[in-house]
Amino acid sequence: MSLLIHCPICGRRNGYEFRYGGEDKGAYPAGRSLTPEAWYEYVHANTCSAGVVAEWWCHRHGCGLWFTIFRDTRTNRQVLEHGGRS
Amino acid sequence: MKRLTSLPTLRVDVGRPVPFVYKNQTGRGFKGDTIATALYAAGVRIFSRSLKYHRPRGLFSLDGESSNTMMTVNGVPNVRTETTLLAEGAMIRDQNAIFTARNDLLGFMDRLDRFMPAGFYYETMHKPASLWPVAAKMVRKAAGLGRIAPDFRFSGACDEMYPAADLCVIGGGPAGMEAALAAADQGLRVILLEARPWLGGSFDYRERGSGEDAPLYRQAADLASRVSTRAAIRVFTRTAMVGGYSDNLVTAVTEGGPDDPFDYRYLEMRPRAVVVATGSRERPLIFENNERPGVMLPDCALRLARTYGILAGREAVFSVGHDLGLEAALDLSELGLPVRAVADVRTKGHDPALVRGLADRRIPFYPGWAAAAVEGKKGVKSVRLASCDGGQYRILTCDLLAAAAGHTPAVEPLSLFCGPLAYDGQTGYFLPRTYPAGVFAAGRIYGLEAPQNIRISGRVAGLDAAAFCGADCRGAADAHRNELAALPMGRPASKWVAFPGPWRKHFVDFDEDVTGKHIRQAVGRGFGVPELIKRFTAAGTGPGQGGISGHNLPLLVAAIKNPSRDRTDIHGTVPAPTTVRPPLRPVFLAAYAGSGREMVKRTPVHDAQAWEGAVFRRVGVWHRARYFSADLDVSEEVDNVRTNVGMLDASTLGCFRIFGPDALSALQRVYAGDMSKIKDGRVKYAAMCNHDGCVIDDGVVIRIGENDYMFTTSTGRAGETVEWIRYHTRFDNWDFHLVNQTDGTGVINLAGPRARDVLERVTDADVSNQAFSFGCWKDFSLSGGIPVRCLRLGFVGELSFELNIPASYMQAAWDMLRKAGSGFGLRPFGVEAQNILRLEKGHVILGQESEQRTNLLDLNMGFLFSRDKDIRPVGADALLQAEKDAGRLTLVGIRMTDSSCVPPDGSILVDDQVVDPVIGYVGTIRKSRALDAVVGMALVERAWTAEGTRLAVYDGGGEPSERHDATVVRMPFYDPEGIRMRM
Amino acid sequence: MDAIPRRRSPVIFDARPDRIRDSGGWRVVQKYADEGRGPYLVDLSHLPRWDLQDSDLSSHFPAGVPVPETIGACAITENVLVSRMNRTQAGIWHLAPGGPGMPDEPAFTDIRENTACLAVLGPQAFSLSEKVCRLDLSTPGHHPPCLLQGPFGGVPCQVALLENRSGREGFVFTFSRGYGRDMVKALLAAGREFGLRPAGEDRMTRMKDDFW
């Protein structure tokens, strides 16, 4: 309930204003030679690590921007990449 | 009772009586009274009966720490009368008693305690199961607090507020006020929350000061006036914090006063910094019958006198463990309360001035003594004081015992921010191990006692918070910190637990009737930590949420676990406190709901449809017209579309403009089909899939200009379509732009064989089949210049014109069409009729015929998937794999053999001949009047998809369950050649 | 053929109009009989609003002025407010009648029909806003006119802060048209304790003259 996200445009906002876009896994793997296994890995396999993860979020109730943040899943707080408080 | 009227600390206005009704008798309090103080002044001593044992309970504290004084007020059960202001004409009743709290016929329960050990419910309610309903009924009758009628409706007014601030100070005592002022001096916007109706905290009702300083109450008043006149400080009184969460999210509830437009106001704020200055309260003393009416905290007795002008008894004995207790005894004695003795568990470390004061007034003082028991059934008759070593005792008659073991910090708000607490051996307090960034504390919560120290610590916290928010004041903060360090610290709190014994009537928690014996039993059963014992015994789980038991429970457990030692102290076993969780106080759900407003979208012809008798339903964020008559079969609406002409408000469909150099690329990415093949003037039907190839949306796309397109989505998807497209193009750096025009685009679907006749009456444009054929779109005007974009589609299977009209013109267009159509039988139809009409045509509605796992191929819509686009669409990889998968379900049409049998939507299809008999399920199924048959669409396994296959629809609703015959038939059911929509 | 068809705002005020002007099908209330003494709730939904999107916003001059460079900043000229929403998007809202027409360029979209537009003006406007949203309108850190994007009254809004000096607070905001009626209901309920009342179009012009 108390997740606070820094939107690059709108600043500190309540987590409710955002939509979660999954872990940041980079661009979709290249088309033609894509194996079913690789496709599955990309779409469904998540690291779910207890620690700092990179994630996509969309400020859906604000500016609408998609952006990535680092979040410490142990504290549910946004952090700087190296783990400090943002 | 006559009140003390000349005290400068008084908070009641004795010139303004407030009448109330208690048990059919009229009483009188004064403005400023809480319900509890008014009742106490009127002579009420027994306020309620306890949950389990029906023991009489009275006023013990004044801040709602227990359920003792919960009563039913104006029909609302469980009102905390200690904190609820007395309102004119309040109707007050007791709770949980047969007859009255004073003469409770269930009072005998108290003698049955040996049959109700710790974990009684867990251990006895096992067998036989047939007894459960009976036992539960009896227990419910005997136990519990207030009763709520099933038809009870909360009648209070609630609203909400989200005030913005840099700093939130919790607690409006001297430390909190100093913190607020210090931070405001540094330019911060400050919010100050105070649960009581006034600021001042522990200074508000105390006369004494230290040395030559002004009396404490005057210091408090001075601070309060400075705080109240600062524009940068917003003060919320009667506002208790109820929740604290990470990143400084603070929630609180204000209880409305007579002049407020609300009864409860929910507050939520996200300050950059928080200062917790909630002070401390007295730790209840545990002894035999320690919760008899007539036993109360010394602070409660003092505040009754100083704040409300009420002397709590005729003759008092004090048993304390802290200087404030001594101060209370001395002060009350000076105010005229005869004090027969003062016991103090401490053998040394008392404030010598207070001890001298007691001696001057010839009050016997017993250092190293404590109350061991009180006598009296419904009130205190006498007290047994004993020396802590147990060697000596004395029995004193009195009607008031003011008892506390010492202090405990009101640390609950702080622990919500700071997480687990640790025992501080020096102060005997439970304090946070670490403080998160931006959270600070001040005042008595740290064990400070000297007024000077309390005030300086507030300044330190305020400046620390300001520095955290970026103000240049670290130096000032450090200066005050050093000043504080140089002053003498407070004395450690007493660690006294209880005299040894079985602790049968030694109450640790009042709300749940938990005694020391129960704790001992729980430890004996192997529950090693307070956290588990809390659950097994229910200590701290009642409305007071550990307000009484919070500190004593861990101390008791520590003492019990050290049997080899003297049981009166914890001796090195480190007590572990239980976890505090929000809400810190009981909060009405209505208060959390706040204003309870519902934000729903209405289409521009909402009223027009309402006038025609539309019954609306909520579809996503919208109100949509479901049907226009009481006829749930909507047969008239359906027939009218098939024979004459109907009009449907489809304004809720999503409508978007996409443009820019890479607009086509973006469309190619999200739509399965090839959007480069859209012909000018033609409508392209298209579907969006997710990565799994499952269909999430369908709609049409048209090209309206160079790199400029319009597309529609289903009602439910409109809100997230922009997000979806941006998400799936986020790595591409494409240059395109989206505009959501859903709300601005009113849509009227004019459908039926006479649709053209109606349309021709309101436009000069050529809408003949030659000039404007099926699958095309066209811009023209209606009479008076209303611009429309018209699409010829056939969702309901008849000649249809889908008129896209600017929202502001919708009402005018609707009225114009209604008038023009009056000679052709035009009438509106709703989504229920549309559902049947499109079903007859075999058109799917996503979410009805499909679910999360249904992909494009399963719906026989593979034609919408283009395998060889340059830009691989979302879902393509999954669809290419799914093409090779024979184990998927496929959409088929079915017809019931018995045309009077309409199974419910979602019924499963079974074949008893196979191992796994469930072979599919029905999406939508309806009686079709046009076909004179019951038809539906179903997803079935491949082996059962051939035309003519017999299926059984399982109907679990009947008894015994039944199977109804059905056959797989070809779709569309109605007008298979599609002649009618191409007319 | 017929008379000019009526155009309707999504917002209906239950108040007695005192002065009305007719304009291209709109019946605009310029003044209500009893507007109280503020704060005022003004419906501006009938005035033009445009959306401007381009990867290069600097090439456009809506209402004759450049789009502000800083995201969140606004410019006001000739009764038209130009707000910078993000890197590629600007909102252009007319706050009074008689403004310029929309440039005939594909980068512009007429969004008047898509949104409702309301203004809250006068004393205690922020006391009202803090009851319906978590947006911090009152912080001295804002330099009006400026734009905030976020939930207001529970639905996504674009809020342009016009003035934040105590006693002459004002903001104007837009949101999905369909919410018009519930939004007004919510605001009037929340604003009852401050005396919030519907006011006519002229109130905006008058306040505007005060502001700038």
Q: Are residues B175 and B303 in the same domain?
A: no
Q: Is residue C154 part of a domain?
A: yes
How many domains, chain C?
Answer: 2
Cis status of the peptide bond prior to B960, with omega within 30 of 0? yes
Q: Are residues B645 and B780 in the same domain?
A: yes
Mean model confidence pLDDT for chain C? 93
Q: Are residues B790 and B917 in the same domain?
A: no
What residues make up the domain containing B799? Answer: 605-652+742-854
Domains of chain A plus CATH, in order, are 4-79 (3.30.2270.10)
Q: Are residues C78 and C180 in the same domain?
A: no
B320-335: pLDDT as tens digits: 999 999 999 999 999 9
Q: Are residues B561 and B613 in the same domain?
A: no
Q: Are residues B619 and B747 in the same domain?
A: yes
Q: How confident is the model at residue B637 (pLDDT cuts 50, 70, 90)?
A: very high
* Lookup: tokens for B765: 């444009």
A29-46: pLDDT as tens digits: 876 678 889 889 999 999
pLDDT over threshold 90, residue A28: no
Measured N-to-C along each axis, helices B298-306 and B323-334 cross at an angle, to the nearest 10 degrees, of 40
For position B307, which CATH number holds?
3.50.50.60
Q: Is residue B68 part of a domain?
A: yes
Q: Are residues B663 and B646 in the same domain?
A: no
B788-802: pLDDT as tens digits: 999 999 999 999 999
Q: Are residues B90 and B229 in the same domain?
A: no
B813-857: pLDDT as tens digits: 999 999 999 999 999 999 999 999 999 999 999 999 999 999 999
Q: Is residue C130 part of a domain?
A: yes
Percent of chain B having pLDDT more than 70? 97
Cα-based distances in Å from B711 to B701, B930, C106 = 4, 32, 17
Residue with the larger pLDDT of the pair B575 and B301: B301
B505-518: pLDDT as tens digits: 999 999 999 999 99
Q: Is residue C3 part of a domain?
A: no
Q: Are residues C41 and C122 in the same domain?
A: yes
Distance of alpha carbon B938 from alpha carbon B598, whole angstroms: 36
* Lookup: tokens for B793: 């589609």
Mean model confidence pLDDT for chain B? 92
* Lookup: tokens for B414: 């702080």
Q: Is residue C5 part of a domain?
A: no
Q: Is residue B635 part of a domain?
A: yes
Distance from CA of A46 to the nearest CA of B (A): 15
Q: Are residues C65 and C24 in the same domain?
A: no
Answer yes or no: do A39 and B877 touch at CB < 8 A. yes
Q: Does C165 touch chain B (CB under 8 A)?
A: no
Answer yes or no: do A34 and B877 touch at CB < 8 A. yes
Mean pLDDT of B315-319: 98
- Write the DSSP string, B52-76: TT--EE----SS--SSTTEEEETTE
pLDDT over threshold 90, residue B135: no
Q: Is residue C57 part of a domain?
A: yes
Q: Are residues C120 and C195 in the same domain?
A: yes
Tell me which chain A residue has its CA closest to the CA of residue B868.
Answer: A32
With contact defined as 3+ CB pairs under 8 Å, the chains touching A are B, C
- C residues 174-203 lying closer than 8 A (beta carbon) to B: 176-183, 185-186, 189-190, 192-193
Residue ending a domain, choose from B453, B486, B519: B486
Q: Are residues B50 and B102 in the same domain?
A: yes
Q: Are residues C129 and C203 in the same domain?
A: yes
Mapped to the 3 state alphabet, what secondary structure does B717-777 carry?
HHHHHHHHHHHCCCCCCCCCEEEECCCCEEEEEEECCCHHHHHHHHCCCCCCCCCCCCCEE
* Lookup: tokens for B877: 């990889």
Answer yes or no: do A36 and B881 touch at CB < 8 A. yes
Q: Is residue B149 part of a domain?
A: no
User: Which residue's structure tokens are 């588990």?
Assistant: B532
pLDDT over threshold 90, residue B717: yes
What does the pLDDT read at residue C25? 94
B596-623: pLDDT as tens digits: 889 999 999 999 999 999 999 999 999 9
Q: Are residues C40 and C130 in the same domain?
A: yes
Q: Are residues B903 and B981 in the same domain?
A: yes
Residue B141 class from Cβ within 10 Å (0-12 exposed, 13-18 middle, 19+ buried)?
Answer: exposed
Tell me which chain C residue has its CA closest to the CA of residue A14.
Answer: C134
Partners of A58 in the β-ladder: A19, A66
Q: Does A4 touch chain B (CB under 8 A)?
A: yes
Q: Is residue B386 part of a domain?
A: yes
Nearest to B286 by CA among B563, B515, B513: B515
Cα-based distances in Å from B891 to B340, B858, C107 = 89, 6, 43
What does the pLDDT read at residue B120? 72
Spell out which residues of chain C touch residue A65, defining contact as CB-CB under 8 Å. Answer: 86
Q: Is residue B316 part of a domain?
A: yes
Q: Are residues C40 and C57 in the same domain?
A: no
Q: What pTM did the predictor assign?
A: 0.92
Distance of alpha carbon B200 from alpha carbon B206, whole angstroms: 10
Q: Are residues C103 and C142 in the same domain?
A: no
3-state secondary structure at position B524: helix
Q: Are residues B676 and B799 in the same domain?
A: no
Q: Is residue C10 part of a domain?
A: no
For position B904, which CATH number holds?
2.40.30.110
Name residues whose C-beta falls within 8 Å of residue B577's C-beta, 6 or more positions apart in sequence. B421, B423, B430, B530, B550, B551, B554
Decide if A14 contacts A24 (C-beta within 8 A): no
Distance from CA of B119 to the nearest CA of A (A): 33
Decide if B157 contacts B180 (C-beta within 8 A): no
Distance of alpha carbon C157 from alpha carbon C177, whole angstroms: 11
Q: Are residues C142 and C195 in the same domain?
A: yes
Q: Is residue B958 part of a domain?
A: yes
Q: Is residue B832 part of a domain?
A: yes
Q: Is residue B869 part of a domain?
A: no
Answer yes or no: do C113 and B745 touch at CB < 8 A. yes
Residue ending a domain, choose from B369, B404, B439: B404
What does the pLDDT read at residue B568? 43
For position B667, which CATH number holds?
3.30.70.1400
What is the 8-class DSSP label of residue B936? E
Distance of alpha carbon B250 from alpha carbon C31, whole angstroms: 42
Spell out which residues of chain A touch residue C150, defining contact as CB-CB under 8 Å. Answer: 10, 13, 17, 61-62
E-state strands within chain C:
17-23, 26-32, 40-43, 49-53, 74-77, 80-84, 89-94, 108-110, 115-121, 146-152, 155-163, 170-176, 197-199
Q: Is residue C204 part of a domain?
A: yes
Residue ending a domain, choose from B486, B518, B538: B486
What does the pLDDT read at residue B569? 46
For position C171, which CATH number holds?
3.30.1360.120
How many domains, chain B?
Answer: 7
What does the pLDDT read at residue A33? 75
B323-375: pLDDT as tens digits: 999 999 999 999 999 999 999 999 988 999 999 999 999 999 999 999 999 99
What residues make up the domain containing C103? Answer: 49-110
Spell out which residues of chain C touch residue B785, defining contact as CB-CB under 8 Å. Answer: 4-5
Answer yes or no: do C5 and B621 touch at CB < 8 A. no
Name residues whose C-beta falls within 8 Å of residue C59's C-beta, 6 or more positions apart in sequence. none
Would strands B233-236 and B190-193 be described as parallel, antiparallel, or unpaired? parallel
Q: Is residue C9 part of a domain?
A: no
Tell me which chain C residue has its CA closest to the CA of residue B816.
Answer: C5
Q: How confident is the model at residue B960 (pLDDT cuts 50, 70, 90)?
A: low
3-state secondary structure at position B438: coil
Q: Are residues C27 and C84 in the same domain?
A: no
Q: How confident is the model at residue A85 (pLDDT cuts 50, 70, 90)?
A: low
